[in-house]
Chain A
């Protein structure tokens, strides 16, 4: 059952959007994870709530707010387009941004857990061996949170493959530009005779999601094995 060129295009676009969103959200997610795991500051509960908001808010709300903020006629959108040449509205980059935002809580949760599980006594041990703080971070903390970081990115990636509401609201459903796998399935279900091709895409979506979850579980197991008996 070879894939048709149209299906390949949908798949390729979905991967591109998912990869871009996972990579783009990495620095922010890791920064937030460290901030929430290691520091106490006023407004921490509020920040934590904001980070988790996309998990509970209707995705269409996120999509609509993005459209209002970053549409071509919106002040911020116009500023970015005129001065930086960055356009999100109705582009695949917009789809990536929308799914990055939707995937952020998952990424932050996984990474925060990894940061919290780092044994800080190991960092102290490294300091007694002469390692300055930055070297401790690079040679001890970062390698130890790495499995969690990968896991967070994978979850964000998988979440992006399934993103629908925020994407269609913000960047619409444009074949070849913003029509990712869920949007394509939705389109097919809206036309007569689309059932069979829609089902093919559904099977693809299931296989992809399952693969992502299995890899994520394997990463977690490896991390747990490493953390034991150290």
Chain B
């Protein structure tokens, strides 16, 4: 799957001007509300007509202003899971699930059964949408979109209306879609933990424009991006492999290019590849390897760049054997340690700072 988006549109006072490309897996459109994420999804689905540009799926144009191509929504075969579910209220769950089948020219219960078991919908089939909980509605909406056999699945903040337990429930199912069905997904979110857990490609949007796009790890570590991600949440993402579980201590040993990382409560098997987000504020720096300290993770690297100071703190980009990390330290410490590009340092990371929300499957 290759999705190319390069569109412009004027929506009232709001100017949309978005360019990005994505290949397979999960592409996250990330940004604050009002940044134009949903408008991009609507344009891909054919529910919003841009005024210029081109949208192509595997080289086939869905919209091309110059060539005067504008495929109507029903002929795009692009599935859409809306924030509010949008199940048809006059139909049962089963009828909702099968709605797109007749237009896809398919019938047969085989595919239905597979998705019903994948999404855990067995007990809901004869129910009405108004009798479902929020999480159940979203699962049905996902199943309905997939049964229409889309080439691409769009998901618009499918977790926004749900409480925390329901969120992790749906996230689990979305991961299964990605891993078991191999459906390419464009996933809109303003929650960084969802993005880290799911996405391969990250597209960061602000005020109708794409600020950055690319592989999730690289994009997140780019310095200029972090003020936008928020002071609290900014950081780097590293890809690691589960090497060993210390069941007695409840710790997992993760190996990555830059060394070893201990993380608690990792819910993955040995050998599985994970994506771990390390927030800049959880990383400390030292000039020599410290002794007798509680921090388990001590990584040797060097300073790659210093960011713009902000208040009392400054962000330091590190190069740990090729892997990018970011540390947020006070300006006072930066001056005391004489931090400068090229200086060898040790990055210290508390294991307990890496929680369940920071870890996702790669």
Contacts and interface: CB of A to CB of B under 8 A. Distances in A.
A230 B82 CA distance: 13
B74 A130 contact: yes
Given A132-B103, A227-B89, A230-B130, A127 B148 contact: no
A130 B100 contact: yes
Contacts of A74: none
A131 B103 contact: yes
A131 B88 contact: no
A225 B109 CA distance: 31
Interface string A106-123: 000000000000010110
B130 A229 contact: yes
B63 interface: no
A230 B87 contact: yes
Contacts of A126: 88, 99
A46 interface: no
Contacts of A129: 74, 79, 99-100, 103, 144-145, 148
Interface in A199-230: 225-230
B129 interface: yes
A4 interface: no
A122 B73 CA distance: 13
A132 B104 CA distance: 11
Given A125-B86, A131-B103, A226 B74 contact: no
A166 B130 CA distance: 45
B96 to A, nearest CB: 9
Interface residues of A, number: 25
Q: Indicate the member of A119, A124, A128, A143 with the most B CB atoms within 10 Å.
A: A128
Given A135-B103, A226-B89, A229-B130, A130 B77 contact: yes
Contact of B88 (A122, A133, A135, A228): A122
A140 interface: yes
Given A129-B148, A132-B74, A121 B129 contact: no
A121 B103 contact: no
A229 B129 contact: yes
Contact of B47 (A127, A136, A225): A127
Contact of B80 (A128, A132, A133, A226): A128
A134 to B, nearest CB: 10
Nearest to B73: A127
Nearest to A124: B47
Nearest to A143: B90
A127 B71 CA distance: 12
B47 A228 contact: no
Interface string A40-74: 00000000000000000000000000000000000
Interface of A: 119, 121-122, 124-133, 135-136, 139-140, 143-144, 225-230
Pairs A-B, 10 closest by C-beta atoms: A230-B89, A130-B103, A129-B100, A229-B130, A127-B73, A125-B86, A128-B80, A143-B90, A129-B148, A127-B74
